Amino acid sequence: MAIIHYLQLTRYYWRLIALIVGGVFGATFVISTALLFVLPIYKASSTVTVLPTEAELAYTEELLRGSSMDPTNIMIQTHLEYMLSRPVAERALEKLLAAAPEAPPPPTGWRATLRQGFNTLRRNLRYVYNIVNSGKHVPLTAYEEMLEELGEMIALELMEGSFILEISAFTARPELAPLVANILAEAYVDRARETVAAKANVLADYIGTEIERRRQQVEEVRAREREIRQKLGIIDIAEERQALLAERGVDRQALASDRAALAASEAELNRARALLETVDGRALPTSALMLSLQEQEADLVRNLSEMLTDYGENHPGLLNIRAELESLRSRMGAETGRIANQVESEQSTRKETIQARIHQREFRLAQIGLALGSLVEKERALHAFLAEKERLDSEISELEGRLIQIELSKASGLDAVRVINPAVEPIYPWFPRVVLNSAIGLGAGILLAIFAMIVLDTVSDTVKTTVDMRRAVGERFLGRIPHRLARLLGREGGGLIVRQADLAPLATNATAALRMLGPSDMSRIRVASLGDPAAAVLGAQTVAAAYATHGEDVAVRGPWTGVAKSLGRGLVRLIGGVSPPDDGPFKRQVHVSPPPVARLEPVVSGNVAVRARYSQPLPDLAEEPAILVVRAGTITEEFLRAVVERSLVRPFFLLA
């Protein structure tokens, strides 16, 4: 229902809608075209990368930990504020004044007049705004005006999700737009690099000062350490400890060797003593004499064996051989004893020497142990100095590492902000875009027209649509007169062909309405209007055409006379200017009545207006079936309700 209501409102207010839409569209088109020839704006853009350093990125992530904000946007917004700062603008303005090309000759004629008028309007608006907003207007110097104009020329845009910034310049001269964009980008790059270098130099100087201070502290600690060493008689604890440990190792190895030699000497001594106790031929020590005696013994034993074999036991030579053998063995025993005594004497002397050497080495090892213990005691006295020196050395190493990081960050920061795509001179103006602006104007005009239509419908209480009529008179509303029949207004003679499909709903409603009237004369139908005779004529024509769709001819009488004839095939023809005869073959006649005279007055109860009613009856509507035609936008809903309640024969209604 709401859609139908507003569609019919659109048809009702079509002139107003066309005026608003056409006016806004035309004004937009004319203004855009005029600006295109008088004040075109050219746009040029350069692209700058603003890569953050690792320190900046880490700090921003730490700052925004747990937040839904994007660190990239935070850092880029920081760069945006830097780029819009006054120092960058002043540097860019200086470069621009030095590099700007000569201005072309000013335009003449109507273009010059329009441009001058536009500039005057801008100055006056700024003056009025400052007076209204601040209570005063302070004129700017020429330099300040140029800075302000430069700020108005510039627009910055962030490429979402990246570290890329687009710098756009808008000027009336195409050759000046890329120059402004590139100079601003270069000014910001220079400023950013100077800032990075200055910060890096400040940090480097501070860290260098800290390193130098700690080195002085190290020298002071070393001086105190040398003083303590001189008091304690220490040159180098580590070297002394290493020398003592090496000496102790040598002595321990020599002591082990001496102990092994002592054991061997004792074994040799025991062997010599055993030989003295058991002197026989089986364990004789070797010597030249002993070897000679052993050979002689062997010869005697061999001769003794041969004689026993040859002569037997009774040979007298055997006694001599045995006597020589006994004498020889006695000499061998004496030699063995001599050798054993000699060995025992030598081994005893060697054992005593080795034992003396062992005692000496054990004494030296004890002295080395005491020396090492003394070094430990001395080292405890130097422990605080050593710890302090190690701490200072560690801090110096850390500061030197930071200094290297600062230099690396400085090198990377100098290349973090750079121009990757310089601006070029535009070919076409960026503003105004006549087609786009006209389309926007058309859309704005449509929206403004719809808004005006809704406002007018809200503040007005007259009926304009079928929805309003049904709300006012309910089931007694027959329908809306087709717009094609409006062409019959004031027409004399000729005819109009009407399609049955356009009149079918209206014919059905009209037939049902007449049946609701009961025994009244249904052959005569009275059609009138509320204050609009032309609407009554249009209503009579419509009713006649509606009944003619049932295959019967209908006569129309009154200010407008004519006949509605059925042509078959779903067509009806209305013929005007023809007076139908009274005895013609017409089952129904539609009479056009003059508008009823009625006025609306409030019925007052005390001081409160209760409702509006008719102050006098409508006599023409009491005798026969009546259809009142209401012209859209002329009658209020309250008025129609009063008509329905006041009339003796409640009429039906058509909306024209």
Q: What is the mean pLDDT of the chain?
A: 77
Using CA atoms of 80, 84, 90, 91 in order, give the dihedral in degrees to the nearest 10. 10
Asked whether residue 59 carries a pLDDT value surpassing 90, the answer given is no
Do both 506 and 430 map to the same domain? Answer: no
Do both 438 and 499 map to the same domain? Answer: no
Query: 3-class DSSP state for residue 142?
Result: helix
The answer to the question of residue 219 being in a domain is: no
In the chain, % of residues over pLDDT 70: 76
Do both 435 and 486 map to the same domain? Answer: no
**CATH code of residue 313:** 1.10.287
Do both 384 and 244 map to the same domain? Answer: yes
User: Could you report the per-residue pLDDT of 144-191, keeping only the tens digit for each?
Assistant: 888 888 888 888 888 777 778 889 999 888 888 899 999 888 888 888
Q: Which residues contact 204 (CB under 8 A, 6 or more apart)?
A: 403, 406, 407, 410
pLDDT of residue 21: 94
Asked whether residue 102 carries a pLDDT value surpassing 80, the answer given is no
Domain around 159: 14-200+425-443
pLDDT of residue 513: 63
pLDDT of residue 604: 36
* Continuous H helices in 482-594: 500-516, 533-548
**Are the C-beta atoms of residues 655 and 481 closer than 8 Å to each other?**
yes
Do both 631 and 485 map to the same domain? Answer: yes
Do both 83 and 39 map to the same domain? Answer: yes
Mean pLDDT for 324-340 is 76
Tell if the pTM clears 0.95, that is, is over it: no
How many Å apart are CA 172 and CA 158, to the nearest integer?
Answer: 24
User: Could you report the per-residue pLDDT of 412-443, keeping only the tens digit for each?
Assistant: 766 677 888 899 989 999 888 899 999 999 99
pLDDT of residue 613: 37
Most confident of 31-35, 407-411, 523-527: 31-35
User: Could you report the per-residue pLDDT of 2-22, keeping only the tens digit for each?
Assistant: 888 888 899 889 999 999 999
Which position has the higher pLDDT, 404 or 273? 404
Asked whether residue 252 carries a pLDDT value surpassing 50, the answer given is yes
Preceding peptide of 596 cis, ω within 30°? no
pLDDT of residue 510: 66
User: Could you report the per-residue pLDDT of 590-648, keeping only the tens digit for each?
Assistant: 888 766 544 444 333 333 333 333 333 443 454 555 788 888 888 888 888 887 777 65
pLDDT of residue 445: 94
Q: How many CA atoms lie within 13 A of 545 on its CB side?
A: 31
pLDDT of residue 493: 46
Asked whether residue 410 carries a pLDDT value surpassing 60, the answer given is yes
pLDDT of residue 453: 92
How many Å apart are CA 412 and CA 558, to the nearest integer?
Answer: 99
The answer to the question of residue 450 being in a domain is: no
The answer to the question of residue 223 being in a domain is: no
- pLDDT tier, 23 (very low <50, low <70, confident <90, very high otherwise): very high
Q: How many CA atoms lie within 13 A of 369 on its CB side?
A: 8
The answer to the question of residue 367 being in a domain is: yes
Do both 587 and 512 map to the same domain? Answer: yes
User: Could you report the per-residue pLDDT of 532-574, keeping only the tens digit for each?
Assistant: 777 888 888 888 888 777 777 888 888 777 888 877 776 777 7
Asked whether residue 1 carries a pLDDT value surpassing 60, the answer given is yes
Q: Which of 187, 182, 101 has the alpha carbon at shortest distance from 424? A: 182
Most confident of 54-68, 79-93, 441-455, 634-648: 441-455
Strands 164-171 and 495-499, sheet pairing: unpaired
pLDDT of residue 237: 66
Buried b (16+ CB within 10 A) or exposed e, 547-565: bbbeeebbbbbbebbbbbb
Q: Give the sheet arrangement for strand 417-421, strand by strand.
A: 154-158, 164-171, 42-50, 417-421
Using CA atoms of 325, 326, 328, 332 in order, give the dihedral in degrees to the nearest 10. 130
pLDDT of residue 492: 45
Do both 485 and 367 map to the same domain? Answer: no
pLDDT of residue 556: 84
Using CA atoms of 185, 190, 191, 193 in order, give the dihedral in degrees to the nearest 10. 120
User: Could you report the per-residue pLDDT of 203-245, keeping only the tens digit for each?
Assistant: 888 888 888 888 888 888 888 877 777 776 666 667 777 777 7
The token duo for 285 is: 């020590």
The answer to the question of residue 209 being in a domain is: no
The total number of structural domains in the chain stands at 3
Mean pLDDT for 91-116 is 75
Do both 338 and 468 map to the same domain? Answer: no
Q: Which residues contact 24 (CB under 8 A, 6 or more apart)?
A: 441, 442, 444, 445, 448
User: Could you report the per-residue pLDDT of 275-298, keeping only the tens digit for each?
Assistant: 555 544 444 455 677 777 777 777
Do both 247 and 363 map to the same domain? Answer: yes
Neighbours of 524 (CB within 10 A): 14
Do both 183 and 284 map to the same domain? Answer: no
The answer to the question of residue 206 being in a domain is: no
The answer to the question of residue 32 being in a domain is: yes
pLDDT of residue 26: 94
Contacts from 95-102 at CB under 8 Å and sequence distance 24+? 95/183, 95/186, 95/187, 96/150, 96/179, 96/180, 96/183, 99/179, 99/183, 100/176, 100/179, 101/175, 101/176, 101/179
Residue with token string 């220490």: 234
The answer to the question of residue 396 being in a domain is: yes
**Are the C-beta atoms of residues 82 and 191 closer than 8 Å to each other?**
yes
Buried b (16+ CB within 10 A) or exposed e, 139-171: eeeeeeeebeebeebbebebeeeebbbbbbbbb
User: Could you report the per-residue pLDDT of 335-382, keeping only the tens digit for each?
Assistant: 777 777 777 777 777 777 877 878 887 888 888 777 777 777 777 767
Do both 101 and 195 map to the same domain? Answer: yes
Which position has the higher pLDDT, 216 or 117? 216
pLDDT of residue 656: 80
